Amino acid sequence: MHAQFQNRRYLIPFRARLLPQIFCDTLVIGSGVAGLRAALAASEHGEVILVTKSDVDRSATTWAQGGVAAVLETTDTDDAVESHIQDTLTAGCGLCSPSVVEQVVRSARPRIEELLSWGMQFDLDENGRPARAREGGHRDHRVLHAGGDATGKEVVRCLSSRVCDAPAIRIFDHCFALDLLTTSDSGNGSVVGAITHHPKYGLQVIWAYATIIATGGSGQAYRETTNPPVCTGDGVAMAYRAGAALADMAFVQFHPTTLYVAGSERALISEAVRGEGAYLVDRRENRFMVGRHEMAELAPRDVVSRSIIEHLVETGETNVFLDARHFKPGFFQKRFPGISQKLAQFGIDPADDLIPVNPGAHYTIGGIWVDDAARSTINGLYACGESSCSGLHGGNRLASNSLLEGLVYGELAGRMSAECRPTVNGNGNGNGGRAGLSESSKQIISDIPLSDRGELDLHDVRSSLRSVMWRHLGIVRDGPLMDDVREMIEFWRRYTLDKIFDDPKGWEVQNMLYVCSLICESARWRRESRGTHTRADEPARRSDFCVHDLWSRMQRPEDAPACVPCAGDAAADSDAVVGQGHEG
Ligand SMILES: Cc1cc2nc3c(=O)[nH]c(=O)nc-3n(C[C@H](O)[C@H](O)[C@H](O)COP(=O)(O)OP(=O)(O)OC[C@H]3O[C@@H](n4cnc5c(N)ncnc54)[C@H](O)[C@@H]3O)c2cc1C
């Protein structure tokens, strides 16, 4: 990796002591399910500031349609919990951390009961209990949903109204977190807060004993994506600059069914549509998934996405279709009101028309490496939700497990952040109380020399980067083509990371360059095919790659990543050709 990339510690030059100073006990960055839940838990032991770069409800969480995977043991047997655990491990292709899977799946019930007690309105079945749908990779009906296909919106409504009512939480919206502040630049210091930018108040320093990153994924790194514009990987990039380890960056989940209307913004067509019985067909109305996988349309997402791409190559067509014309009259509109509305905007009536779809980047599996208490590899920094990599999803995420992870790890991160507060014995993250925190401020200085290199058009860099990522680091990858991408990113980095920008558009492109570069490095290093990571030149799964690959700014550019052996399911890791293996 280029030295410019390795060495850059902060995106902007500053003297911390000259900026406005704000103090809190816990700083939470991001207002999706993970950040909102983390803020609530942290507010039980101290003052919290929650910053979010847009409106509070602008997040992937708000866009979530299908639901939350959860077994409620009050109505289900322990076998049902075991089966959820097993489905998660199977989808993860040998790379899940089994203890994390168990912890998350077993925590589903208390987290959901808590939501219910806070007024969450799940859709109910005829017995008045939360109705349960089935999605790809799930053997049982266990996906709870709200408003038909508006689960995320209801989760955000429920959590954010509670956050707004919590006296210990202050919300700073439209406040962009630029970088984490650390007591040392060499990766062995503690995180003591963040530098932020607000259009009205400018740059500010927010000091905190603990900082929780909950900034979501980086789907915007791809031209075709289901993600909202806020998903640019900022938190992952800032954690990397601060010295935290990132893991499994090669793994990006592609959703098989994104509405494909040329020229329009892509929109997700939930997996639940297939769960309710819709078929995937081609232009000749041939159900091409039948015979490719025993679960046909409900095979895990990587299998379905790859099959679509293969089928398009075979047929020369531009997209495939969802066929829901056999649904009972009125059912589609009732079960999927949001999707129906979106389709109506393009004159598509699912009762009469096929729905044109294609895959798109959907979920960032890799991210900030955290332990089973949501701690990153540096003191004072926690991460939860899509910006983190906890080992829950392994090599592929089971549908509807991410809202669940956000709830479970959000609560955990918020609760665990209490350990950073100074005690009378001097424990905590070593900052010595508020006086100590502000003392740190005097020492934090960022100097960035002015560059005399030429300027690139930022908009062009952004769109070229997204295109090349989609073409060569998308669903099927190939070693030599990824080498070319690496060189292109290297070039853009050289002319972009040497510059100093003064608004989020520039900072987001810089962050995307970090994230794309790390996805590329990890994907080149992983000489196998597993889960969402498929290499045409390395089609077999290799047991010597059954490890989490960790990347940090501290490693030398020529070094291989640190590898953490995966305590995964050995049976699920036998060498297998992708598509015929154990994906579900
Ligand atoms: C269309 C769609 C449908 C989905 N459906 C489902 C589903 O049915 N079930 C399921 O389990 N999962 C689903 N997912 C995935 C799931 O929604 C996400 O993984 C999950 O919501 C992520 O939550 P989060 O809190 O980690 O991040 P997000 O919800 O993405 O929130 C990230 C937050 O961080 C803020 N932020 C980012 N950068 C900065 C910065 N620099 N400074 C300040 N704030 C910042 C953003 O503004 C945002 O508030 C879906 C995803 C999409 C895109």
The ranges assigned to domains in the chain are 252-362
The CATH number of the domain covering residues in 252-362:
3.90.700.10
Distance of CA 437 to the CA centre of its chain: 31
pLDDT (tens digit per residue) in 36-92: 999 999 999 999 999 999 999 999 999 998 899 999 865 556 789 999 999 999 999
CA of 67 to the centre of ligand 1 (A): 13
Cα distances (angstroms) measured from residue 238 to each of 42, 256, 267, 349, 576: 22, 30, 28, 44, 36
pLDDT (tens digit per residue) in 278-289: 999 999 999 999
In this structure, the chain runs to a length of 584
Contact residues for 427 (Cβ-Cβ < 8 A; gap 6+): 419
Structural tokens at position 65: 């349609």
Helix axes 401-416, 151-165, angle to 10 degrees: 20
Nearest-atom number in ligand 1 for the CA of 66 is 8
Write down the catalytic residue from 37, 301, 415, 541: 301
Higher pLDDT, 370 or 5: 370
Closest Cα to atom 11 of ligand 1: 400
pTM: 0.93
HSE-CB at 242 with a 13 A cutoff on CA atoms is: 32
CA of 195 to the centre of ligand 1 (A): 22
pLDDT (tens digit per residue) in 158-196: 999 999 999 999 999 999 999 999 998 877 789 999 999
Rounded CA separation 570/568 (Å): 6
- Ranges of beta strands (E only) in 342-395 are 355-364, 367-369, 381-383, 388-389
- Ranges of beta strands (E only) in 67-110 are 68-69
Q: Does 449 have pLDDT greater than 60? A: yes
Rounded CA separation 480/76 (Å): 50
Contact residues for 308 (Cβ-Cβ < 8 A; gap 6+): 256, 280, 320, 358, 359
pLDDT at 581: 25
Higher pLDDT, 511 or 6: 511
Between strands 252-259 and 445-446, the pairing is: unpaired
Closest Cα to atom 13 of ligand 1: 64
Residue of 61, 257, 363, 409 to test ligand 1 pocket, by largest number of atoms within 8 Å of CB? 61
Are 53 and 234 contacting, i.e. CB atoms less than 8 angstroms apart?
A: yes
- The set of protein residues with a Cβ atom below 6 angstroms from ligand 1 is 29-35, 51-54, 58-61, 63-68, 151-152, 176-177, 214-216, 226-227, 230-231, 234-235, 268, 363, 385-387, 400-403, 406
pLDDT at 435: 62
Rounded CA separation 538/173 (Å): 45
Rounded CA separation 354/318 (Å): 14
Rounded CA separation 420/316 (Å): 57
211 beta partners:
27, 381
Burial group, residue 397, by CB count within 10 angstroms (0-12, 13-18, 19+): buried
CA of 397 to the centre of ligand 1 (A): 14
- Write down the mean pLDDT value for the chain: 91
Are 209 and 191 contacting, i.e. CB atoms less than 8 angstroms apart?
A: no
Rounded CA separation 16/13 (Å): 10
Nearest-atom number in ligand 1 for the CA of 387 is 26
Q: Does 434 have pLDDT greater than 90? A: no
- Residue 498: pLDDT band (50, 70, 90) is very high
Are 63 and 228 contacting, i.e. CB atoms less than 8 angstroms apart?
A: yes
Rounded CA separation 217/362 (Å): 9
Higher pLDDT, 171 or 271: 171
Residue 301 among the catalytic residues: yes
Start-to-end Cα distance in the chain: 36
